[in-house]
Structure 1
């Protein structure tokens, strides 16, 4: 699933391609909005909100989309071949005289009044890359349920918006605790540092094509995707297990030496998958 930095980049590309321009083509390929025609309207802006994209259009309308695991918006100069996937995966087309934005595999696509955007994103916590960022409120949200595992709390977009599974794992490493530590057991000094760390990581990566948390060339991430490889700090093999986020299990990486605290044993299925 794209994280806040990736969605921010997608919004910027869409904004640069569409904002201030009149739509000459409009095709929303979802049954509820299949008859909607946005041609002749000017795109006002494209704004990210956490992991959501809000394309605001003249006449008080907003096209709300979410990429989730596989969705993508691709921008093409008019006349160029579209290469984002087969035609049946296209969910939206927004075209101007110069460029066309094509939305592939979008699991969420809805047209709503701009005044009603809160229906789509009003549940979200402070946006790490948005103007509403409030570190005190974000921390209070995370700490609200002291028994909840830190990794789950970080992924809950109602607490703070923009963290995905990669940043969850990397943040827990940098905080020196396992993702399964109850948030109420997080040392006070590390808890106080959490909002600043989260914002720093996303802001550092929002303009980068390759996500980096280590500052080391060729060794971009501390733990994510590094199961069984040596920890960059202590050399202990990185471990992998699943952790839920309230909707599904997600692969979670941590160093058992640098990140003391509760943790599950890797499942047999996981162990087999990394020895084949």
Structure 2
């Protein structure tokens, strides 16, 4: 599933294409949204919140999209073959006279008044990439929100109700960087330790936003069986969360070994 850095890069690309432009084509191929006509409206901005994309118009409407596992947005020059968007996988088309943004395989699509965005996002924790992130408050929410402090720290990092934007890549990488046992219960970590995890994820995601996804550095994620870059122990993987929402967390069994006497989620 695309993580917060992907959404930031996607929002920046769409914002550059559509901000200040009037929509000459707007097709929302999703359930009851087909009758909503946004043509003639001016795009105020395109922003990301966690794993959510928000296209806002100057007259107070918001198109909200979530990519889920396979979704993506791309931009093509209006009038080009790439901008036609006739394939069934294209679920949204928003076009100015110059550029067309197309959403493929989207996992969620809504249209609401911008003042009502909280109906869609109010259950989420703070965006880990927010400019004004209160790290200590986010750390306390990471510990206490959702299902409480008894779950594993890896599961807490993946829980968007606690903090929005972190997925399997940055959960695994931040836990590895801090030498934290992924299955330790989140309630056994103090606020400073949790803040350090969030700041590590935020730093790594910011690098990807600034320099592109090719700047991502994978030290454990996707490296099953390969030697740890620190101790040469074979990297392992275990599932966090319960079916059908389980997600793989890669880790080093030695560098991130359980601490004696510290409770773990099983």
Structure 1 length as normaliser, TM-score?
0.87
> 1:187 and 1:175, CA in 2 relative to 1: closer, same or farther beyond 3 A?
farther
Query: Which shifted more, 150-159 or 237-246?
Result: 237-246
Q: Counterpart of 2:189?
A: 186
CA apart distance, 1:194: 2.4
Q: Counterpart of 1:47?
A: 47
Which of these residues, 133, 143, 154, is aligned with residue 151 of structure 1? 154
Are residues 1:235 and 2:238 paired? no
User: Are the equivalent residues in 2 in contact too, given 1:152–1:245 (CA < 8 A)?
Assistant: no
In structure 1, the gaps of 5 or more residues are 214-219, 265-276
In structure 2, the gaps of 5 or more residues are 259-263
User: Are the equivalent residues in 2 in contact too, given 1:77–1:98 (CA < 8 A)?
Assistant: yes
What does residue range 42-191 of structure 1 map to in structure 2 within 5 Å? 42-82=42-82, 87-144=87-144, 145-186=148-189, 190-191=193-194
Residues 226-263 of structure 1 show CA distances to partners (whole Å, capped at 9, x for unaligned) of 00000001100001122216861112111001001158
Q: Could you say what the CA RMSD is over the residues aligned between the two structures, in angstroms?
A: 2.1
CA apart distance, 1:59: 2.0
User: Are the equivalent residues in 1 in contact too, given 2:241–2:247 (CA < 8 A)?
Assistant: yes
Question: Residues of 2 paired with 1:7 and 1:23: CA distance?
Answer: 22
Q: Which runs of 4+ in 1 moved over 3 A?
A: 83-86
Question: Residues of 2 paired with 1:102 and 1:2: CA distance?
Answer: 17
Matched positions, count: 258
Structure 2 length as normaliser, TM-score?
0.90
CA apart distance, 1:80: 2.6
